[in-house]
Structure 1
């Protein structure tokens, strides 16, 4: 029989395998994947799960294990450094024997990183790549008619790869508040939030870490994050990170705001540790999240409205089983785009977060980065099959071609995955999907008369709550026991 520690680790590994972020997780019926004996399952359910829930590692509701911020921090304490990640990239370049000014396909690099890094490390990797570009070790070449999206090895990178005495320089000084912005303004707060606030921010900070920083400059606050949250709940106040942090920020003096930004900036630049209590949570330098940021030039009134509106929506979503899907499709026609949009609207109404270009891509946005990030973050990928989709996927044309490059690599690396759901819109099946998707069970939405019925089945599948479920096994029948 496995030890209690081994059983505990197997359970926690499910969050790692599924690359869960805070507020993501898996259904109770997925515990079967742990392959435990009856007695081991009993230990898990009666002893280990209650202990982990009491420790705040996960929450459990609607038959769903949801990873908390504390659980996320604890799960990925031992992380690779920026230098480790940079060397993983250079190792892949060595594998292809790249010389100065030669290139390797970008999707080969990204798939190599996805295979070798956990979610936090993967998000840190985008920042590492940005630094390598700034320091001119590498250059990212955009896709063109003659060449796919590539990573080009520059002379400095070549020298580092093959010179044992070369030292890798990733030092950059990041200024989180742009010059000319008043330190006490809403615009300064918003610029800082772009770096540390959103879950895919370059240097994401969990609620407990944010509180430890703000506590350093405002000693009048409750001494612990738990006490602070309990007090707000008792007063029926929001516990959303951006909302409570914004309220405290507005109450600080000019000097306190300046001190707060200094602490945050030292974290972003990975200088000396900020506060002793941060280290108790884990290696504070490693609590990072995704690459790119965009400064938002909100007016004061717009920021206060966004704090109330955007985070209110996020808070409502957190109260639900917040699963997400990415929709991969081709722009066959305006009517087809509208049909996809209608499907996305219906999924949103069913409590499912949808990553869709029509929602998320605006002028100035990086389409490639959007596809890479959201394909990685989404719980399930819905592939809308049409002959045009198959053509563009197989010939690697336009956005569909890039998306399918990622999808096909994922399918080849993990043939048992069920993340990808084919949805037939215009058939037959073999004309609508690339070969890797043709054998997978999907949804038939080629007949609008049956849309509601099929849509309901799709939502059941996304929530991992099939209409027909295997009943629990009963005891041996009495008539068999009597015969014995």
Structure 2
């Protein structure tokens, strides 16, 4: 597919759709890769089997099949002793439990009772026992409160735990993130004449109207700005580089003349790194 002043000259919607179709495919790949990378639901979890979250069962103390993974992730999250914001000591953990179950023993009462029964007072073991003994609604309150406290400090891992708890698909979040991230396109062209410059600027504006972020010298030019640095930066940031190839562009590129020559020198090295990036 060639972008030139032949059939493409009028920039009608059909031709624009063809161009945008070439520019955008990587976003579908990014989505698929992101979903695959972040797929953390167990293959045979009750979430997938019943399409429900783990708290949707009748009131009981039953633990979900993926409970060990949920708990291990949770404890790892709240066991960083040098981080007072996320670390849950015994008293702090039990204070949260008491918000779900008002008459639960306080810390020293609970520890004394475990010692009397010959049970371990290791935090990881007794936190697990406490959560196991709560009914589903109480356990939900405790987990939600802990995760809400920790979320501002480690949102990624909290999201992973929530996806296990509630069956939240990360695919929707990734789709939203990709949709919000605009495709960045750098346009490289030569200043052949005013008609050509207007044509290129018109193309840039049409791409911008289609929610594509366009990097082009006419937009980057500011009095006193180092244009060579801005060119390098724009090319580096771009997802795609669109070359408007004309005889004059080729002449300047071959002779490394002017802005085109400088851009082409950069693009030539980048082309070997990623040939799919340049159109």
Indicate whether the TM-score tops 0.5.
Answer: no
Larger Rg: 2
Where relative contact order (Cα < 8 A, 6+ residues apart) is larger, the structure is: 2
- If each structure's helix is expressed as a fraction of its own residues, which one has the higher value? 2
TM-score range, shorter chain: 0.3 to 0.5
TM-score normalised to the size of structure 2?
A: 0.40
- If each structure's strand is expressed as a fraction of its own residues, which one has the higher value? 1
TM-score normalised to the size of structure 1?
A: 0.24
